Structure 1
Amino acid sequence: MPRLRPKGTPGKAGAVRVLVTGGDGFIGQHLLAHLLAGDCDVTATSLAGTPADGTLSRAERGAVEWRRLDVRDGATVAAVVDAARPRRIFHLAGYSSSAEARARPADALEVNGMGTLNVVEAAARARSDVETVLVAGSADAYGRVDDGPIGERTPLRPLSVYGTTKAAQDVIARGAGPALGVNVVVARLFPLVGPGQRPVFVLPSFCRRALAIRRGATDSRLTVGNLDIARDFTDVRDAVRALRALADLDRPPHRAWNVCSGRGTPVRQLLEWVIEVAGIEPEVVRDSTLVRPGEPEAVIGDPGRLSRATGWRAERDLRACARATLDWVASSDAA
């Protein structure tokens, strides 16, 4: 159990002061729990100013200093950074859903691109010394790659609106960092799964529909998109360990780092695990409207750079992650 200090009390001597933008999101809440367990002094932001319900315990939420922030507002970003006086900034705030970015492309580009520039500029002008800004990027920035595992030298050729906004964020972060004298690290996150993820993503979507069938829904069919594609899924709890390890690197030799397992898992396998742990026998029906045109058959990353620099590797079992996600969705629906 992490040692938690009440909000507003002095941090423990030697504790690392960190700021997490978008701390109430899926990745953010898992990262906050990890940082608190590591005895960090944590400030986090959200659009609402208070954390949404999720995976954080009440004690963990209370141990964080929460601030309201829209990263498009450069003046407020600067004020929050000055008040938090962080040594490390984890910039997670932004659009994370392909469907939502497609529905509001201009807004997604402003948030993911200009919002990131605001954070880097605030770090450069901060009255305290910010050692590292870690930006949560996305493997969607790579686009289609047909010749083996994706390494960090692979060109960014996004295929979607979301991927385009994340490619823009990536370029802005890696360019603005050295230009402004800030150590900026971009973590190119491949697809993450785990408890707390919103149902717009594939695994919790499967879980929600499986639970409805288990509870006796009239329609026992489970509609799906393309089950034959493979993605490099990683448990979010492994991923946040990687983010902390990257932020802790002293003078990292690279600006971009893949966070992935190096293994492809078919979406069909995720569905089979969910069906198994839910204990149901649904009729699985393919819905062509759920299939994205031009979607790559496989997106698999190379985590070698990260592993060599930090010793990190993905450790958690994905089948166990599917069970944990199903349990979390069930408890959330019952709340």
Structure 2
Amino acid sequence: MPTPATSAPTEREPLSLCSREPHVPADRLVAEMVPPPRFDSVRFDTYVPDPKQSSQREAVTALSAFAAGLTAAPGDGTAGGGLRRFFGRRQAPAPTGPRGVYLDGGYGVGKTHLLASLWHATPAEPALKAFGTFVELTHLVGALGFQQTVRTLGGHRLLCIDEFELDDPGDTVLVSTLLGKLVDSGVALAATSNTLPGKLGEGRFASADFLREIQGLSAHFRPLRVDGEDYRHRGLPEAPPPFADEVVERTARTTEGASLDAFPALLDHLARVHPSRYGALIDGVRTVCLTDVRPVPDQSTALRLVVLADRLYDREVPVLASGMPFDRLFGEEMLNGGYRKKYFRAISRLTALARDAKVPAGQ
């Protein structure tokens, strides 16, 4: 009996990230200050500490206690707390010590998982706690203005800041002043970074000239070290080799919701879109297909790519690529410089997303 013929996959015109220039209104920026989809369902009890790393278990214990201690935080989720944000708040008591926790550790040890778990565990309605990356926080100030940002976040119980990094002196002064105002309003802080708070900015700008601001930031936090190996690669094979251009292009045309862009053109386009809009840039995209992946030419381009990699990882968007493997994106000078931890994080996350990419049968 003859074998039935299989129908060819339907081809469609793929999306293009290079054709998108998203505008993100301020109210969307505020509404989206919640854990991203990858971390929407994480909790402390879904975090699996490495048995060889006691600091991971200790971090869970410390953060659980921190969340429990926020039940009496001012600004707050008690009856009328939201109204007080607009009609006046009671005076917050002066903090007696650090009003925040700061998770310091290498990439891939689960810091974002722990930070999102803290957000979920904090006993307050979502409107009274905020979660965002450092670049999203600085863009919120740009969109709302400094005073309005203080008013908007000042009534919150908790502000979680992921990927806390200071890349320029202006950010140092801005964030130091903002967090000081929020702490004075009674807002608790939590942050993740690959750099201790007292070392922020080192190797990137003349941080000694901004020592007072950096020390002021450090005073708000109690550091918690989280040691360990990158969980994304524990016991897993190396990243899959890049595909041929033809396979990537065919996959983009036969996969619903796939985008297709040449990697050099995408890097150029990222320079025209503010990094805080990279999440909106990939709205509705289910798979990112890239051709001609090659080493990133300069530091500014590399830092923009790091932000895009973070947003793709947050939203669990697989990446299918041709050209060079992702572990060759950044040259030796970059990997040995002040931003090396960012670049290693991007390589780790893009490698994980490359493993998730699927080529339709028959390709």
Class of the TM-score when normalised by the shorter of the 2 chains: 0.3 to 0.5
- Higher relative contact order, chain-length normalized (CA < 8 Å, sep 6+): 2
**Bigger radius of gyration, 1 or 2?**
2
Q: Counting helix residues as a fraction of each chain, which structure ranks higher?
A: 2
Superposition TM-score, scaled by structure 2 size: 0.31
> Scaled by the length of structure 1, what TM-score is found?
0.33
